[in-house]
A and B are shown apart, each in its own frame.
Chain A
Amino acid sequence: MAMVDTGAVRLHVQRIGPRVGRPATATVVLVHGLLTDSLASYYFTVAPAFAAAGLDVVMYDLRGHGRSERPAEGYTLDDNIDDLEALLDRLAVTGPVHLVGNSYGGTIAFGFAARRPERAASVSLIESEPATAAWAVKLGGILDRVVTQLAHNEPDAIRWISAHRGHNTARLAKGAARLARDTTLGRDIPASRVLTDSQIALVRCPVLGVYGGDSDLAELAPRLESALPDCRTVVIPGHEHSVLVEASGTVGGHILQLVEEAGRPAVRVAAEAAG
């Protein structure tokens, strides 16, 4: 297990690449979602196929999540973008990368591309959206329910979830309650600095939006396309918010296509630097 100290926090990182002897064509960075998520959602789904396709695949656990350190504070979106930027610096990944983010991870990925456009070759948002004022309000509502109903009334809430949603979901919920109780995440994320429409439109790299057809977020697809200069979206019928895990072959295929079409700029930049 590789731990990388960014200077602010110790993050758990997994990096896989093509088979020995085959140089990677580009780097793809996979960012997971909030509370119950970890890099495992990529490690056992799209990551092996990405590596087999010749990509250098970087996955990490967000602060507070998975095997990464859990500081009590520092959970705004900008903190998460700082962590991502520092992590890539520490890994000496300096060229443009293809960013992939699931749910809140996509909001981080997009925020990174908005802050450092020269370091973003493409962005794939899975069940995700850029940080807007409306996004912050929505996340605030969701986190408030986690904090008040779960973290402060845990035994009852867990009993209900176990009875109605099964043992596994109840265990995930316990983990989410612990994270909400131990950190300032619940109040930091809704208080995050968000992007204006014109800041969003400045993300000029290719952007892919992938949504589950039965998800509340599917209605974002046309809005994302009209907000960005180079954006396409895909809605996958019969899936909800967990479309990455449930339809990983389809989701991964769309991402690989985007990465290939985006022209592997990491290699071009490396060649230019070498020449």
Chain B
Amino acid sequence: MTSPTPRTPAIPTLAPAASAPADEASVLADLTAMLARLLEDEYGLDDVEIGMGTTFNRDLELESIDLVTLAGLLQERYGDRVNFAEFLADMEFDEIIELTVGRLVEYVVTSLKATEAS
């Protein structure tokens, strides 16, 4: 992946993994909408392509303070069921730099399933 790619029309792109469970697709759609909002609010970008392999750092050029904003958006959407700060606090710095949208989608899906099960 390279830097954010301008593209029209701005329709969220889903991961190519057709076998992914439906809830993974809906979480990806949620995250795509949150990231689109963040990129527009902070950087005036309204046409960035986002998929499971997109990295927060190199592809989206997000700074760590943007991830704090994203944590707030996740909190708004999922409440206490998903704790993004704790998820990142368990990671090494290099892992955070390489973090992909897909890895966050997996974490959100796992967290939501865990609270459904309990």
Contacts and interface: CB of A to CB of B under 8 A. Distances in A.
Interface stretch (A35-43, A178-186, A191-199, A230-238): A35-43
Q: Which 10 A-B pairs have the closest CB atoms?
A: A40-B64, A44-B88, A38-B65, A66-B65, A48-B86, A48-B85, A40-B65, A48-B89, A40-B68, A43-B68
A168 interface: yes
B72 A1 contact: yes
Contact of A44 (B61, B69, B85, B97): B85
B35 to A, nearest CB: 15
Given A44-B96, A48-B85, A248-B89, A167 B67 contact: no
Interface of A: 1, 14, 16, 38-41, 43-49, 61, 66-67, 167-168, 171-172, 175, 245-246, 248
A167 B96 contact: no
A1 B70 CA distance: 10
A168 B68 contact: no
Contact of A41 (B61, B64, B83): B64
Given A44-B96, A48-B83, A48-B89, A38 B69 contact: no
Interface of B: 57-58, 61, 63-65, 67-69, 71-72, 83, 85-86, 88-89, 93, 96-97
B89 A175 contact: no
Contact of B89 (A1, A49, A66): A49
B59 to A, nearest CB: 11
B61 to A, nearest CB: 7
Contacts, number: 51
B94 to A, nearest CB: 10
Mostly, the B contact residues are helix
15 contacts: A38-B68, A39-B65, A40-B63, A40-B68, A41-B64, A43-B71, A44-B67, A44-B68, A44-B85, A44-B88, A45-B89, A61-B65, A66-B65, A168-B57, A175-B63
Nearest to A65: B65
A171 B61 CA distance: 9
A21 B28 CA distance: 32
Contacts of A47: 85, 89
A44 B65 contact: no
A171 B63 contact: yes
